[in-house]
Amino acid sequence: MTRYGILGFGHHAAKRLIKGFRESQDSKLVGLWRRDAAKAQANASQFSIPQVFNTAEALCASPEIDAVFIVSPDSLHLPDVQLAAKHGKAILCEKPLAMNAGEVEEMLAAAKAAGVPFGVAQNMRYYRSLDIIRRWIAEGRIGKPQLAHSQFSYSAAGSPREWIYDPALALGGPIGDVGVHCIDALRFVLETGVTAVNTLAHRDAASGQVESHAVIALDLASGAMATVTVTTRSEYRTVVEVTGETGVILCENGLTVDHPVDVVLRRGPEVIESQRVSNADAYSLMLDGFSAWCEGRDSYLAPATDGLHNQRILDAAYKSWRDGTKQTI
């Protein structure tokens, strides 16, 4: 059993991670720290978390903690990772990993020097919808992939994560927040990297210095091409679609955990196969996958060494938007 402490307990932890820990088999949440001490005590009472730590360092130093789950705002990830590594704790960090690839390289160096596992909380790599898409592609059921698309739309109006519009705390708008999920999902199902990036994006009055919606074009190492579309100005919707030489795989709302989804394989107008799956257990699968890695029993699907490539893609996406030029990875 791997004992976790959450560093930066907030809305995401309350909404998603608590359920994941409750349903996990080999991962136990035993402590938390957050900057607001009163809210920390309230969270611990509400969710029956045994320990509240007065400081982040106290959590990381505690012999009762085996792994630190970092859920703080983006700009705090680097010092939080370095703190956990200093105390020899396994590290699971929310996406995006950092504010830029240079920071990720510093994180990787700290984890390597400490000899501790370091993973990214890319829970979607444990989605059953993506597992089916990945398997059908690997089986050649649509021929060689040519085009791929992923979309993540949601409304940020009234979001309890007030820091997401603050460029001092957040990497950016929806590109960094959910675009990284879309990029990672396509990389995962297609088993490829990204070689070049082109971005169009817009700001609005509410988003301020960060983007409100964007389109990202990706050249893939496999030879396929992909687009990622994101917005914080729409109703919730997620899409994963891959077009191959002989067929298409489509999953409407394929990146949700809130309800079952259908993964559909089509050739022309004909539906060849359709499977309904639920991703509801993805957080517990992710946690137990990381715990197994910490305990030396198995590998983890989203190591931070791979997360560095995602960060380089994000860096290129933002540079492309700022400069109006195509960026190579």
What total of structural domains would you count in the chain?
Answer: 2
In a domain, 43, yes or no: yes
Same domain, 18 and 136: no
In a domain, 315, yes or no: no
- Could you tell me what percent of the chain has a pLDDT over 70? 100
* pLDDT at 105 exceeding the cut of 80: yes
- Identify the CATH number of the domain in which residue 164 sits: 3.30.360.10
In a domain, 234, yes or no: yes
In a domain, 309, yes or no: no
Give pLDDT tens digits for 184-242.
999 999 999 999 999 999 999 989 999 999 999 999 999 999 999 999 999 999 999 99
pLDDT confidence bin for 165, thresholds 50/70/90: confident
Q: DSSP secondary structure string, 80-103?
A: HHHHHHHTT-EEEEPSS--SSHHH
Same domain, 198 and 229: yes
pLDDT confidence bin for 160, thresholds 50/70/90: confident
CA distance 183 to 313: 8
In a domain, 291, yes or no: yes
Domain encompassing residue 80: 2-121+285-300
In a domain, 317, yes or no: no
Same domain, 241 and 197: yes
Same domain, 66 and 134: no
State the pLDDT at residue 163.
Answer: 81
Same domain, 114 and 171: no
Same domain, 39 and 151: no
Same domain, 100 and 157: no
Same domain, 134 and 82: no
Same domain, 88 and 190: no
Same domain, 263 and 289: no
Segments of the chain assigned E as strands: 2-7, 27-33, 51-52, 67-70, 90-93, 118-120, 145-155, 194-202, 213-220, 225-231, 233-244, 248-252, 261-267, 270-277, 327-328
Span 57-62, mean pLDDT?
Answer: 98
In a domain, 324, yes or no: no
In a domain, 257, yes or no: yes
Span 168-183, mean pLDDT?
Answer: 96
Same domain, 199 and 99: no
- Identify the CATH number of the domain in which residue 116 sits: 3.40.50.720
pTM: 0.96
Cα 255 → chain centroid: 11
Q: Which two tokens stand for residue 291?
A: 């715990």
